[in-house]
């Protein structure tokens, strides 16, 4: 009996070890299977993506889609197989080991303990002396009880062994049978799926064989054509690629002509870069790459001219000249240059034939040149509202324009176009009562805005204008009204400010003037344009600047060598200067117009006078770096370096200041001169009798 018990115990220990090992192997198999399923799903997803990419080819797209669906079903079958393996083998055998084998071990521990107690009772009973009947009786009773308990536990232990042996067979066979059924189902389902797909695969194989044959035939045909073309090219000259030199002014896409041109940069090195140019919507634009934003070279082709350039070293060059700048371009051949010149000329003629409203409305929708778009009256109220909001946002972004220029009311929606200020609705009514000779009022959201007028308003602002008209408003009895002030106070203030001009700073007397100084103009960035990379370090010395004739008259005469031909007709000049009445003018928030083309002085050490900025900038003697050519706000014209000549400030009066400010295209200085009574038609006897209107050209 004891030998049998020992043999059974040894067998149970070995079975437990084997089952533990099998459970661990099954767990590893299931985990590896899940990883395989996850990777297979990624593969199927890749096949589907490839099918979406090849939608243009129905054969490939249909094939990949069907194969992806079949592979997805196979992946699902694999997942079912691994789930059944986990339940049938891993979980079932694990429960058998943890529950049934554990009960057997607990019963074995009790049996071993009782067996040790029986052996101890037998030893005590044998050691009991004869002359001590009491001890003999006690040892005999303990032995009887221990032997009885041992027999009961022995029967229970044998029963547990028999149950374990029987359940061992059942559990092992049942788990393996379930696993094999899962395997059988997996392969049957896979066979059924692939059997249904077999006709399609055979059909596809036949088509593939035919494709291979057709591909070989096509390859031989292409090789034959290639050899023929090579033989033909030996007799032709392909110095330049002139495959497309035509242009179409009435193209449905709006692109008159496009192609690659070399563009000379406006930096100090005058580098040439190859860019993709196009003429569209009466504009000349270019871009570095296909997905890059368009950079506008010429805002309006009606204001420019084009001419071939034969006086530079490079061949096939032509120049596009606008009122503010010029752009030097180079084609790949003489034929291409002629085509581009003719295309620009034809676009200019076409732009003049078109109605202004249609021309400007097309350019308004372009995001490449938001600063030159025109806002026209729209028949649709919703469209007009959207355009009005665009004008409002652009003009209100100018310094000081977030509040009314007279009372400080927030969100002004009215403007005085010849004063350059934004007004609230109450102050705009007072301005209307002054008359159009003093103030011309328009709505930013309801009225039509021409691009030139909108550009002018963006260069002017409440802060700069108030520096002129409110230069001396701190005196007694001159308190600026607020938004809550009565209308009478606002009306009195506006009349004193613009009609009587009580707050203008008077020019100082001659003895109080300083010695003449040499100034040069500072070219400032255009409002709403992209910031430029600094080309040189600057030291800024803050000094109070008086926005009046005395302060602005520190500028000297311009260099007499600066000349260029006018591209404006007299009517256009009158239209531009109609915004400046003799009684009022506005000053922009920048120091000099970015279109003036003025650079620094040649000596590199002269001070820079910035009108309307409140600071004097000292140049640091240092070589200026090249300006980034890819900036969205790049000035494509060459900056004409000019120096303000020496002049005694006592000799400058409003007319002379307007004359020189118009030549420098300095709107702040011109506004101050007009505010002090300068006449637009004042003639400078020292400069061939030219007027400010002529100098503005």
* Reduced 3-state DSSP string for 558-599: CCCCCCCCCCCCHHHHHHHHCCCCCCCCCCCCCCCCCCCCEC
Q: Which of 285, 275, 300, 295 is nearest to 255 (CA)?
A: 285
* Reduced 3-state DSSP string for 30-57: HHHHHHHHHHHHHHHHHHHHHHHHCCCC
Of the chain, the percentage scoring pLDDT greater than 70 comes to 71
Which tokens is 387 given?
């355009």
Q: Which of 1.10.287.110, 2.60.120.260, 1.10.220.150, 3.30.300.30 would CATH assign to domain 386-499? A: 1.10.220.150
> What CATH number labels 2-231?
1.20.1270.60
**Contacts of 456 by beta carbon, 8 Å cutoff, 6+ apart:** 417, 420, 579
- Any idea what DSSP says for residue 91? I
Residues of the chain with pLDDT under 50: 240, 355-386, 508-651
Domain 255-372, CATH 2.30.29.30 — does that match? yes
Q: Please give the C-alpha separations between residue 143 and each of 65, 135, 254, 483, in angstroms, as whole numbers.
A: 83, 12, 117, 116
Domain boundaries, the chain: 2-231, 255-372, 386-499, 506-697
**Contacts of 277 by beta carbon, 8 Å cutoff, 6+ apart:** 258, 259, 260, 261, 263, 284, 285, 286, 297, 329
593 φψ region: left (φ > 0), alpha (ψ -120 to 50), beta (else): beta
Is 580 in contact with 452 (CB distance < 8 Å)? no
d(CA 442, CA 453) in angstroms, rounded, equals 11
The continuous run of DSSP H or E covering 360 comes out as: helix 356-364
**How many CB atoms are closer than 10 A to CB 511?**
6
The pLDDT, as a whole number, for residue 245 is: 63
Scored b (16 or more CB within 10 A) or e, 142-157 reads: bbeebeeebeebbeeb
d(CA 426, CA 483) in angstroms, rounded, equals 9
| Helix, coil or strand: residue 229 | helix
| Cα 75–Cα 78–Cα 84 angle in degrees, nearest 5 | 145
Return the half-sphere exposure (C-beta side, CA atoms, 13 A cut-off) of residue 690.
Answer: 16
Is 527 in contact with 372 (CB distance < 8 Å)? no
């Amino acid at each position: 009996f004891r030998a049998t018990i020992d043999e059974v115990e040894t067998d149970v220990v070995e079975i437990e070890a084997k089952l533990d090992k099998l459970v661990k192997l099954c767990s590893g198999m299931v985990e590896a299977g899940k990883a395989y399923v996850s990777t297979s799903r990624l593969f199927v997803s890749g096949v589907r993506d490839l099918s979406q990419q090849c939608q243009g080819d129905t054969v490939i797209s249909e094939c990949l889609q069907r194969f992806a669906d079949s592979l997805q079903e196979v992946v699902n079958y694999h997942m079912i197989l691994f789930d059944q393996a986990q339940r049938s083998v891993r979980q079932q055998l694990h429960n058998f080991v943890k529950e049934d084998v554990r009960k057997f071990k607990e019963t074995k521990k009790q049996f071993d303990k009782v067996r040790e107690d029986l052996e101890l009772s037998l030893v005590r009973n044998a050691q009991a002396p004869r002359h001590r009947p009491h001890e003999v009786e006690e040892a005999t009773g303990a032995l009887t009880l221990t032997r009885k308990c041992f027999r009961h536990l022995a029967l229970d232990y044998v029963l547990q062994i028999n149950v374990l042996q029987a359940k061992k067979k059942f559990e092992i066979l049942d788990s393996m049978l379930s696993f094999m059924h899962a395997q059988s189902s997996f392969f049957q389902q896979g066979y059924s799926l692939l059997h249904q797909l077999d006709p399609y695969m055979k059909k596809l194989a036949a088509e593939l064989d035919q494709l291979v044959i057709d591909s070989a035939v096509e390859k031989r045909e292409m090789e034959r054509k290639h050899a023929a073309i090579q033989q033909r090219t030996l007799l032709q000259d392909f110095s330049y690629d002139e495959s497309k030199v035509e242009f179409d002014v009435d193209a449905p896409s709006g692109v008159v002509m496009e192609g690659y041109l070399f563009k000379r940069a406006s930096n100090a090195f005058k580098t040439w870069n190859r860019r993709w140019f196009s003429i569209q919507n009466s504009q000349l634009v270019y871009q570095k790459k296909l997905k890059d934003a368009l950079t506008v070279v010429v805002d309006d082709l009606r204001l420019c001219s084009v001419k071939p350039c034969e006086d530079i070293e490079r061949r096939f060059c032509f120049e596009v000249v606008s009122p503010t700048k010029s752009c030097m371009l180079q084609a790949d051949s003489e034929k291409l240059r002629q085509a581009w010149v003719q295309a620009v000329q034809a676009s200019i003629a076409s732009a003049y034939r078109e109605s202004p409203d249609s021309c400007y409305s097309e350019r308004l929708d372009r995001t490449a040149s938001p600063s030159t778009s025109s806002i026209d009256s729209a028949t649709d109220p919703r469209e007009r509202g959207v355009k009005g909001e665009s004008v409002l946002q652009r003009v209100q972004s100018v310094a000081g324009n977030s509040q009314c220029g007279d009372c400080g009311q927030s969100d002004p929606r009215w403007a005085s176009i010849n004063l350059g200020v934004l007004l609230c609705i109450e102050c705009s009514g007072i301005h209307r009562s002054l008359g159009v000779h003093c103030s011309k009022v328009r709505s930013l959201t309801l009225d039509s805005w021409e691009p030139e007028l909108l550009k002018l308003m963006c260069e002017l602002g409440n802060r700069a204008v108030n520096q002129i008209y409110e230069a001396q408003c701190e005196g007694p009895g001159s308190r600026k009204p607020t938004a809550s002030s009565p209308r009478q106070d606002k009306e009195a203030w506006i009349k004193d400010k613009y009609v009587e001009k009580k707050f203008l700073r008077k020019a100082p007397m001659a003895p109080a003037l300083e010695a003449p100084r040499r100034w040069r103009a500072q070219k400032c960035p255009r409002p709403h344009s992209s910031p430029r990379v600094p080309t040189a370090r600057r030291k800024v010395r803050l000094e109070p600047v008086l926005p009046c004739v005395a302060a602005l008259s520190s500028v000297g005469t311009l260099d007499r060598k600066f000349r260029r031909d006018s591209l404006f007709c007299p009517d256009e000049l009158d239209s531009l200067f109609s915004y400046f009445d003799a009684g009022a003018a506005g000053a922009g928030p920048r120091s000099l117009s970015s279109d003036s083309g003025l650079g620094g002085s040649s000596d590199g050490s002269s001070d820079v006078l910035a009108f309307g900025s409140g600071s004097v900038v000292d140049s640091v003697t240092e070589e200026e770096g090249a300006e980034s050519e890819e900036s969205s706000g790049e000035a494509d014209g060459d900056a004409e370096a000019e120096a303000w000549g020496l002049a005694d400030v006592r000799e400058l009066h409003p007319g002379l200041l307007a004359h020189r400010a118009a030549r420098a295209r300095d709107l702040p200085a011109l506004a101050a001169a007009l505010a002090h009574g300068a006449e637009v038609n004042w003639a400078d006897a020292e400069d061939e009798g030219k007027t400010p209107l002529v100098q503005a050209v």
